[in-house]
Amino acid sequence: MTADRSGELTPQLIETGTWSDELVSRTLPIVDVPFVSIGGGLGSLAAVDLLRIAGLRTDDIRVVTTIDRPHQTYRLLAENSQIPVEERIRSDASSTIDNIWGFPSYATREAMSAKGLANKIAPLRHVLVEPVLDDYYTPTAGQVYSSVDAEANRIGWNKMLLKGVVRMVRRRVGGGYFTVYTPKAGQDPTHGGTKRVAVRSRHVHIAVGYPGVRFLPDLQKYRKTHKDFSRVVNAYENHDYVYEELRRRPSTVMVRGSGIVASRILVRLLDDREKRGANTTVIHLFRNYVREPQGDRATFRRDGRNGFAYQGFNYPKAAWGGQLKEQLESLDGDARKDLIGRLGGTNTPHRRAWDDQLERGRHGGWYRQFEGQVQSVAPGQDQTVQTTVADRAGRTIQLEANFIVDATGLESDISEHRVLADLLDYGGAGRNPLGRLDVEPSFEVRGTRSEPGRMYASGSIALGGYYAGVDSFLGLQYAALRIHDDLASAGFGTRLGSMRSVKEWWRWMRQQPVP
């Protein structure tokens, strides 16, 4: 049979779980590289950054991605959920995604670049007294983006990019993997004008982020039944027109959810009311209203009041590197799922300014809280949406709003992502107790080994494993370190030791490019 290299995925390829070089080369051009990271967002950046610092060259690594900058998707989701560049995100001072050491922290760097003594001292004072005398310090989104750009440039990010859409990853006969992707127009690395390219690598890392956003079932049903996609919106999707409309005429908005995403939406709505002339009334609907601290033991009790459960970050801090991390590592199955649930769940950070703003709204009558189970969502009068709720006493209440914002932050099932679905069907991957990709403590995807090759996954798709905070800057960096250690133990690269660490840190401090 002659090779046509047209890039066709033949039925034989699709139906075969493990591919031989001969089978692939019949229709697909092959590109060789030792390590491939799929995604190109902050998860890929964290992994590639560490591997580069540990000694791998740009030629050893390819990142297959549809985006130009590593923070692009993060930024899109942040801005949709109302975190503009000058706002502070919910992340620790030392969770520096552009710096594997966490030193100097975002706070120190903010101090160094600030003008005037008072502005220099403020962030340092803040981290010194957090969280005892003040809320946790957190960096601005803008600081994160600009430092990510700098680090991407420093490690030669653009040289490692393969722009295009990944279709699947399959194991290779004889070891390693094939990653099939459709190059972006004009960016085919084989210059043959092919439809698809197979990247042959020893190792693969998958960091594709959220498979997609999901609506609450009752809202999804309403949108589908009534074909109304403009009045019921998701906080993670662009809904700026809602705020524009709210500034034009007095309206009522219902917010669903009580986690960090809801907090952001509330801030935007109430800021618009207090500072930008919007005459908006906010109805905040809680499914579980938190009245008091949660937990039945003094040694396991989370702060909570006014409807919200409070903690600094999405898990208690020790889940990233202290005793809770160790505890989680020792658990499996339902016990692990249960602990992750109790440490996480719906929660938001306590911020004094937010607290005060909600209090003003409560007093003024433009912020109203309701608790109950939604019975139905249907079109109301005058282009409103009517939500029927059964409250705690079993009474039925009708709530009318011009818009409903789903700020529950629900994510789609991993099988919504084509690459992950294929991995579950053909790659030997399985699900963990939370339904995401089942990974080892080293973040290797269980069941996908292709000796001497290994496949890893990090980020949100690995939630439910031995590490709770996977979907965070520090979690991505922790995963990167574990992946690097595992690869080094398998003979791929040299384990990052103290000498090299110090040397590379000094290079980072001088912002010198990594060779």
Q: Which residue has the tokens 């009311």?
A: 273
The answer, yes or no, to whether the previous bond of 452 is cis (omega within 30 of 0) is yes
In terms of CB distance, is 266 or 483 closer to other proteins? 483
Binding window for other proteins (CB under 8 A); candidates: 355-363, 413-421, 429-437, 497-505: 497-505
Select from 10, 32, 103, 335 the one that contacts other proteins (CB under 8 A): 103
**x/- site string to other proteins, residues 280 to 319, per CB under 8 A?**
---------------x--xxxxxx-------xx---xxx-
Instruction: Tell me the closest approach of the beta carbon of residue 513 to other proteins, in angstroms.
Output: 19
Q: Which residue has the tokens 């935007």?
A: 268
Instruction: Tell me the closest approach of the beta carbon of residue 476 to other proteins, in angstroms.
Output: 12
Ranges of H-type helices in 396-442 = 418-426
In terms of CB distance, is 104 or 123 closer to other proteins? 104
**Sign of the CA dihedral running 341, 345, 351, 356:** negative
Distance, in Å, from the CA atom of 222 to the CA atom of 227, rounded to the nearest integer, reads: 8
In terms of CB distance, is 269 or 474 closer to other proteins? 474
Does 112 engage in binding with other proteins (CB under 8 A)? no
Does 203 engage in binding with other proteins (CB under 8 A)? no
In terms of CB distance, is 102 or 189 closer to other proteins? 102
Ranges of H-type helices in 379-451 = 418-426
The two tokens of residue 382 are: 């005058």
Does 325 engage in binding with other proteins (CB under 8 A)? yes
Distance, in Å, from the CA atom of 419 to the CA atom of 463, rounded to the nearest integer, reads: 17
Does 424 engage in binding with other proteins (CB under 8 A)? no
Does 501 engage in binding with other proteins (CB under 8 A)? yes
Of residues 459 through 478, those in contact with other proteins by CB under 8 A are: 478
Instruction: Tell me the closest approach of the beta carbon of residue 512 to other proteins, in angstroms.
Output: 16
In terms of CB distance, is 312 or 372 closer to other proteins? 312
* Strand pairing report for 300-302 and 294-297: antiparallel
In terms of CB distance, is 276 or 301 closer to other proteins? 301
Does 351 engage in binding with other proteins (CB under 8 A)? no
Select from 219, 324, 410, 445 the one that contacts other proteins (CB under 8 A): 324
Distance, in Å, from the CA atom of 286 to the CA atom of 372, rounded to the nearest integer, reads: 6
Distance, in Å, from the CA atom of 71 to the CA atom of 68, rounded to the nearest integer, reads: 9
Instruction: Tell me the closest approach of the beta carbon of residue 298 to other proteins, in angstroms.
Output: 6
The two tokens of residue 515 are: 């060779």
Does 81 engage in binding with other proteins (CB under 8 A)? no
**Residue 242 CB: number of other CB atoms within 10 A?**
21
Distance, in Å, from the CA atom of 231 to the CA atom of 402, rounded to the nearest integer, reads: 7
Give the residue among 260, 232, 188 at the shortest CA–CA distance from 7. 188
Q: Give 263-277 as a DSSP string.
A: HHHHHHHHHHHHHS-
Does 104 engage in binding with other proteins (CB under 8 A)? yes
The answer, yes or no, to whether the previous bond of 515 is cis (omega within 30 of 0) is no
Instruction: Tell me the closest approach of the beta carbon of residue 324 to other proteins, in angstroms.
Output: 5
Beta bridge partners, 369, equal: 284
Give the residue among 326, 384, 374, 316 at the shortest CA–CA distance from 349. 316
Instruction: Tell me the closest approach of the beta carbon of residue 61 to other proteins, in angstroms.
Output: 20
Q: Going by C-beta distance under 8 Å and a sequence separation of 6 or more, which residues neighbour residue 195?
A: 6, 7, 8, 182
Does 322 engage in binding with other proteins (CB under 8 A)? yes
DSSP classification of residue 417:
S
**Sign of the CA dihedral running 310, 312, 313, 315:** negative
Binding window for other proteins (CB under 8 A); candidates: 82-90, 128-136, 198-206, 237-245: 128-136
Instruction: Tell me the closest approach of the beta carbon of residue 514 to other proteins, in angstroms.
Output: 15
Instruction: Tell me the closest approach of the beta carbon of residue 235 to other proteins, in angstroms.
Output: 26
Instruction: Tell me the closest approach of the beta carbon of residue 497 to other proteins, in angstroms.
Output: 9
- The amino acid occupying position 199 is V
Does 70 engage in binding with other proteins (CB under 8 A)? no
Does 102 engage in binding with other proteins (CB under 8 A)? yes
**Residue 21 CB: number of other CB atoms within 10 A?**
14
User: How many chain residues are in contact with other proteins, going by CB under 8 A?
Assistant: 41
In terms of CB distance, is 193 or 322 closer to other proteins? 322
Select from 279, 288, 323, 494 the one that contacts other proteins (CB under 8 A): 323
Please report, as ranges, the residues that interact with other proteins according to CB under 8 A. Answer: 94, 100-105, 108, 127-133, 295, 298-303, 311-312, 316-318, 320-326, 478, 481, 496, 498, 501-502, 505
